[in-house]
Structure formats: structure tokens, C-alpha cells
Amino acid sequence: MNSTVELIFTVVGAALVLLAVYGALKLDRKLFLSGLCFFSILPIIGETMGYNADKAPIHVLVIFVFVIQLVLALPNKIVYGAENIAATQLATKIALSMLIINVVGAVFVLYLNSGVPAQFGYFHIAFSLAIAYLLIKRTSSGAWIK
């Protein structure tokens, strides 16, 4: 990866991680999902730039996974409360799937020979911790973020 592109991705990625973490701490669903959704664009762009024919399946898989996360994290204006059991159960399952995506992303970047700079793995860890925090808040208090 070009050093200029890496710097741009790092600055934008850090800003989006901070936005998502701030949204998680303030229990603001729109801020959290905005950070996560827009961050999902970075791996899609990076894997598209790194695409080559001999490693095509892994690039396509990573692109596909982050397209799924982008779609799942799209912020919307739908408001639901704890009384809507179906919505809260679905939101919990979506959060678990995004947690798995980011944990696997961190493992892929940090422990496998992926050629991706380590800071991006740390960004995935930060998202994983933010999602885990929200899941713990959800299960301990019974309330979901607004």
C-alpha cells in the first residue's frame, strides 16, 4: 500500500473509530452506526486496490464481508424500544454478526500474513470492544440504544 494512501486511510479510519466509540459511549445509535458503516468502506477500497489474480478469492471474500457489514450498519431513523421484542432480538443478532466480522478482521490483519498495516487491526479491535460494550449494556439493563 502506498504510504500516502495508508496515511489517508489511517486518519479517516481513526476518525470513524472515534465517532463510533463516542456513539457507543453516549448510547447514540446513529453516531455509532455512522462510524461503523463508513469505516466499512475503507476495507472495500483497500481490498479493491490490492486485488490481484493469484489471491483473488481472499480479496473477494473480504470485500463481500465488508459490503455485508456496510449494509447492516446503515443508519436509519427507525426508532424502537425494548417493548418490541422482535426488533431487539434482531438488533442483538446483527450486533453479534458485526462483532464476529470485526474480531475476524482483527485476527486477519494482526495474526495472519495479510500485508495490511497493524493499525487497521487495532481499529477492528476498537469496533469489537464498542460492539461488545453495547451488547453488555443491552443484556444487563434490558434497554437498547436510542
Please state the pTM of the whole predicted model: 0.86
CA angle, 44 as apex, 43 and 49 as ends, to 5°? 95
User: Each residue of 82-118: pLDDT tens digit?
Assistant: 677 887 788 889 999 999 999 999 998 999 877 788 8
Tally of CB atoms within 10 A around 90: 12
* The three-state (H, E, C) secondary structure of 21-73, written as one string: HHHHHCCCHHHHHHHHHHHCHHHHHHHHHCCCHHHHHHHHHHHHHHHHHHHHC
Q: Which SS3 state, helix, strand or coil, does residue 79 take?
A: coil
Question: According to the model, what pLDDT value does residue 129 have?
Answer: 96
Q: What is the rounded average pLDDT for all residues in the chain?
A: 86
In this prediction, what percent of the chain has a pLDDT beyond 90?
51
